[in-house]
Amino acid sequence: MYDIKAIYEAKTIKDASRLLLEHKDAQIIAGGSDVLVQVREGKRAGKELVSIYGLDELRGVKILPNGDIKIGSLTSFSCIIGSDIIKEHLPVLAYAVEQVGSPQIRNIGTIGGNTCNGVTSADSASTLFAYDAMIEISGMDYERIIPISEFYISAGKVDLKEGEIQTAIIIKKESYEGYFGRYIKYAMREALDIATTGCSVNVKLSPDKKYFEDVRIAYGVAGPVPMRAVNAENFIKGKEVNEENIDSFANEVLNDVRPRDSWRASKAFRSHIGVVMAARCLSRATELAGGDVDGRL
């Protein structure tokens, strides 16, 4: 038995905004795989809920005429994993969301919910950061699009103002074209687990595959919100593809990440695996991009 004060079902995106403006304390619910857990824990007990789960216009993956990829916020993880567009252009995102929970959770959980929940450990978040994803937001009579790095404000808090819902996640063509990526979820179990740390890297090599033209690396659980390791990225850009540079890049990450000590894992341990993951992600992504990393995997 759940302690829910009332539930309102939005019929359209505008309707959702109206309901949210009418019920200022209401919580948006999509698949419910986070919200219902929070209600049960008492964190969101006794609240009004506005369900947007019936808004089919928010589902699906498509390529826009300009080549950008648009993922509706209500698209389930399972649908992302199965999407031909994602498989072809953003395989690393498919892999990342395949690490979420279990088949049941991936069927009900949505990528919009995953990002709006505002937690640093979300499996989709580090890869979306690494792809410079844009977040599409709809208000009562307007739309706005912001970079994902601005969407996350602090732990559990995202940039959704009164009456706003997130409607889509957009990956620009220039962000994915020519890039190859790798995500490692470091967790204590192979399923049904939260990331101790997540690391997503994508890389674009020079035409001769000898130099790193661009590298983007993002972490989950290396700080209160998902984050990019900017120092490391700047270090590696333009450098030659070799093992030594990859190792230096990985160590450079320590100038960016801010892991903390908690009972779940110590700072020393998180820092150590953060470095190992950076090296392994970049090596693998480089290999996928056709680079030669001294025969190492």
How many C-beta atoms lie closer than 10 Å to residue 203's C-beta?
28
Strands 152-154 and 157-158: antiparallel
Measuring CA to CA, which residue among 257, 261, 255, 247 is closest to residue 294? 247
Q: Is 194 in the site for another protein (CB under 8 A)?
A: yes
What span, in angstroms and rounded, lies between the C-alpha atoms of 136 and 259?
A: 29
Amino acid at 238: G
Amino acid at 18: R
Q: Is 188 in the site for another protein (CB under 8 A)?
A: yes
- Would you say 146 or 191 has its CB closer to another protein? 191
Given the structure tokens 């995997």, which residue do they identify?
297
Site for another protein in 67-106 (CB under 8 A): 102
- Would you say 45 or 63 has its CB closer to another protein? 45
Task: Select the residue interacting with another protein from 264, 267, 290, 292 (CB under 8 A).
Answer: 264
Q: Which stretch binds another protein (CB under 8 A): 63-71, 104-112, 206-214, 267-275?
A: 267-275
What span, in angstroms and rounded, lies between the C-alpha atoms of 131 and 90?
A: 9
Q: Which stretch binds another protein (CB under 8 A): 85-93, 128-136, 188-196, 287-295?
A: 188-196
| Total residues binding another protein (CB under 8 A) | 25
Residue 104 CB, nearest approach to another protein (Å): 12
Q: Is 234 in the site for another protein (CB under 8 A)?
A: no
Q: Is 273 in the site for another protein (CB under 8 A)?
A: yes
What span, in angstroms and rounded, lies between the C-alpha atoms of 113 and 100?
A: 12
Measuring CA to CA, which residue among 3, 9, 45 is closest to residue 25? 45
Q: Is 42 in the site for another protein (CB under 8 A)?
A: yes
Q: Is 295 in the site for another protein (CB under 8 A)?
A: no
Q: Which stretch binds another protein (CB under 8 A): 16-24, 184-192, 212-220, 230-238?
A: 184-192
Q: Which stretch binds another protein (CB under 8 A): 73-81, 192-200, 213-221, 285-293?
A: 192-200
Residue 29 CB, nearest approach to another protein (Å): 18
Measuring CA to CA, which residue among 65, 295, 293 is closest to residue 180? 293
Q: Is 155 in the site for another protein (CB under 8 A)?
A: no
Q: Is 276 in the site for another protein (CB under 8 A)?
A: yes
Q: Is 3 in the site for another protein (CB under 8 A)?
A: yes
**Is the distance from CB of 55 to CB of 16 less than 8 angstroms?**
yes
Site for another protein in 108-127 (CB under 8 A): none
Q: Is 6 in the site for another protein (CB under 8 A)?
A: no
Task: Select the residue interacting with another protein from 154, 272, 292, 294 (CB under 8 A).
Answer: 272
What span, in angstroms and rounded, lies between the C-alpha atoms of 185 and 198?
A: 5
Given the structure tokens 């130099």, which residue do they identify?
211
Q: Is 193 in the site for another protein (CB under 8 A)?
A: yes
DSSP E strands, the chain? 4-9, 27-29, 47-51, 61-63, 69-72, 134-138, 143-147, 152-154, 157-158, 165-171, 180-186, 197-205, 212-220, 227-228
- Residues near another protein (CB under 8 A) are 1-3, 42, 45, 102, 186, 188-194, 196, 263-266, 268-269, 272-273, 276-277
